[in-house]
Each structure stands twice: as structure tokens, then as C-alpha cells.
Amino acid sequence: MADKIRLGFVGANVNSTWASQSHYPALLASPDVEFTAVCTSRPKSAEEAKQKFGAKLAFHDYNEMCASPDIGAVAVVVRVPLHYGPTKAAIEAGKHVLTEWPLGKTTAEAEELAALANAKGVQTVVGLQSRVSPALMYIKELVEDGYVGEVLSCHVTTMRDGALERPSSRNWNLDITQGANTLTIANGHVIDALRFVLGDFKRVACMVTTQLQQIFETDTQKYVEPTSPDNVRVSGQLERGAAATVAVGAVPWAGTGYRMEIYGTAGTIVTTGSVSSQRGEMLRVQGAKGTQTLEDLTIPDKFVCVPADFPKGDPFNVGQLYTQFAESIRTGKSGAPTFDEAVRLHKFIDVIKKASDTGQEQAVV
């Protein structure tokens, strides 16, 4: 396409696990985005990324990349504590920006970035990929069209892998102050998917805990004590009146993956997956309308905005996100989750934490 978005990518380390599984294959297959520039923290790794991905430019200073006239947009895909710097630099340079979730290490960082982006008039996207999942967009439409009637209750669970041991280089997120843990990331994605489909919560009672008290470091041969939570339970009521429960946990063995159940006066919808709502697997959607038997429902093609031959798996929803990002830049109208949406989720997670810390039900405002 002649009007491809020229993207600069902060965090383009070729060995990055999540980026290698999702962002890189999504970008290389995208008809909407040109992988123009890469940025890592060192010249050698930046040049390596440039060669691997066929980028035109390589940087080891994100400020220099953001100032480059050769790019029109920036993707920030680094560790959560490092989101703030390059995201702010991109906005101040007048670039449109896509930043992974969580937007900031704290709600205050997220609020500052969202306010700055609005003041500068740039398009923003936060990596809440569940909101562009074809399965969840389809379920949202079914609910809005009355498939289940009045929603009475809903229940979501996600149980994912939680390692008992790991090298010290991967233990940074055991510190709750780093902003990257089960409460913010896994629970953030899962509960946002529920909010996307059924609307916001009105009130919540919560339990946020650290169940695994020690983790073994394989290189130092020492045990460390995490301060980050690894299990989250939310019980509450949605603004629409429905009862809602959410259970998200990091568990050592045989996590059962993702499951969302929606029960109404006219029917039921259940969606399941082996990983979670934000990953790119095509979730299974089942429904029962006026019967006691669930049957598979076919997700309409209208909810897919990437090409038919686009890579399946983790790149899929990320590709959907980049497509929406490009469209928002072309039209000025956002169809993807923005930084403002990220701030709302940050604030909601703060309410969940407060409800747990105080042991008291909290209103969600």
C-alpha cells in the first residue's frame, strides 16, 4: 500500500520472547505497516535487528529515533518499567504511538502520557489485544443483539503458567513496584476482556494474594521472596446489574487456560482457549439459546481485519491491533483501545488492590 505507516520499533531485540512470538511476525506480514526503524539499547543489537527484519534504520537511542523524519509512528515493546521514557519521547516528537499494556509502571505515569498525547493530538493505541479478538467482538455483538437476553451473571477464569524457579535475569517482575505482575498483566487483560464484552463494574470485593512465597534462582542458587501478587479474585456487580466473578492465577502445573461464561434470561455463551483472551489463538465460542445444550458458533469473517493468510497464533491479535492503529492514523478515528482506555483500566486495577488491602467492598467510579 502506498500509504503504509512508517514505524519505528523500540525494544527490537531479536531474542525478545513476546516480540518474537507476536510483534515481529505480525509486522513482517502486515500490509498496513512498514518496519522502517529499530531501536535497542546497544548499537550492536540494533544493527543485528536491522539486518534480521530488513529495517532501513537502526538506533540505540530512542530519542534520536523518535526525532527522525523518516518515521511517522512508534511502537514501544519493552519491559513495563521502561514504557514511560520512549512513549513520552514519541509523543513529544509528534509521533503516533502504540505501547504495550500496562501503559505505565503506575497509574500516574499512564495519566501523564494520556494527557500529553491528547494535548499533542497524536493517535494512540495500548496493547489490550482482547478488544480486537474476533471471538470477543462477536460475543459482544451477540450480547448487544439480545442472544442471551438480560445478562444475569458471568464468570471468567484464567490459570496460566507460574514458574517455581527461574534465572535471576527473569526475576525483576517479582518486585511489585515494577508494575508487571499477575494483577496488572494477566488479570488486566482478562478483566478488560470482560469489561469490553459486558461493560464496566459498579462495585467489587477482591482478594489479591502472593501464594508462592519463595522462588528459586537457578543461577545464584538462592531463594527470593516475591512481593508481586500471583493470584487475583474479583467478585462484584456490573453496571448493567449482572453478578460477576473473575479468577486469575499463575500456577506451576497444568494451568487450564481461559474460560468466559455469560448467563442470561434467554441463553448462554461460553468461550474457551488454552492460553488467555489477549493471545492470538482463535477462541472457541459456544452458545445455547433457549436450550440446555451448548453448540459451536461460527465467528463471522467481518471481525477479521488482517489478510486471510495472516499468521495464526500470537501474531494474529497483534496484527489486528496494528491494522486498527494504521486506520486510526489515516482517518483520525480510533477503532482500537487508546491511552484513555488504558488509564481507565489502570484506575480500576487500583480499586481492585484497594478492595483487597482494606477487606472492604469498593465502588468503581
Residues contacting 136, CB < 8 A, separation 6+: 130, 193, 196, 197, 271, 277, 283
Average pLDDT of every residue of the chain: 96
pLDDT, average across residues 182-192: 97
Percentage with pLDDT > 90 across the chain:
93
What CA–CA distances, in Å, run from 201 to 121, 191, 234, 346?
Answer: 30, 10, 10, 14
Architecture in CATH of 5-122: 3-Layer(aba) Sandwich (3.40)
What CA–CA distances, in Å, run from 320 to 87, 126, 281, 305?
Answer: 21, 13, 12, 6
Report whether 160 contacts 186 (CB < 8 A): yes
Residues 192-213: tens digit of each pLDDT = 999 999 999 999 999 999 999 9
pLDDT, average across residues 1-18: 88
Other beta carbons within 10 angstroms of residue 183's beta carbon come to 26
Q: Higher confidence at residue 155 or residue 280?
A: 155
CATH topology of domain 131-303+345-363: Dihydrodipicolinate Reductase; domain 2 (3.30.360)
Residues 116-127: tens digit of each pLDDT = 999 999 999 999
- Sequence spans of domains, the chain: 5-122, 131-303+345-363
Is pLDDT at 109 greater than 50 in this prediction?
yes
pLDDT, average across residues 159-171: 92
How far is it, in rounded angstroms, from Cα 335 to Cα 166?
Answer: 39
| pLDDT interval class at 282 (50, 70, 90) | confident
Q: What is the pLDDT of residue 1?
A: 44
Is pLDDT at 2 greater than 70 in this prediction?
no
How far is it, in rounded angstroms, from Cα 359 to Cα 231?
Answer: 16
Q: What is the pLDDT of residue 14?
A: 93
Report whether 103 contacts 188 (CB < 8 A): no
69 preceded by cis ω (within 30°)?
no
Q: Please provide the size of the chain in residues.
A: 365
Residues 215-236: tens digit of each pLDDT = 999 999 999 999 999 999 999 9
Is pLDDT at 113 greater than 60 in this prediction?
yes
Write a three-state SS string for the chain: CCCCEEEEEECCCCCCHHHHHHHHHHHHHCCCEEEEEEECCCHHHHHHHHHHHCCCEEECCHHHHHHCCCCCEEEECCCHHHCHHHHHHHHHCCCEEEEECCCCCCHHHHHHHHHHHHHHCCCEEEECHHHHCHHHHHHHHHHHCCCCCCEEEEEEEEEEECCCEECHHHCHHHCHHHCCCHHHHHHHHHHHHHHHHHCCEEEEEEEEECCCCCEEECCCCEEECCCCCCEEEEEEEECCCCEEEEEEEEECCCCCEEEEEEEECCEEEEEEECCCCCCCCCCEEEEEECCCCCEECCCCHHHCCCCCCCCCCCHHHHHHHHHHHHHHHHHCCCCCCCHHHHHHHHHHHHHHHHHHHHCCCEECC
How far is it, in rounded angstroms, from Cα 317 to Cα 192?
Answer: 15
Cell of 233: 479474585
Other beta carbons within 10 angstroms of residue 221's beta carbon come to 7
Cell of 120: 499533542
How far is it, in rounded angstroms, from Cα 39 to Cα 74?
Answer: 10
Is pLDDT at 112 greater than 70 in this prediction?
yes
Of residues 201, 184, 194, 199, the one with CA closest to residue 363: 201
How far is it, in rounded angstroms, from Cα 131 to Cα 140?
Answer: 10
pLDDT, average across residues 285-314: 96
Edge-to-edge strands of the sheet including 257-264?
295-296, 284-289, 267-273, 257-264, 151-161, 243-251, 231-238, 201-209, 362-363
Residues 17-50: tens digit of each pLDDT = 899 999 999 999 999 999 999 999 999 999 999 9
Q: Residue 106, Cα to own-chain centre: how many angstroms? A: 16
pLDDT, average across residues 262-287: 92
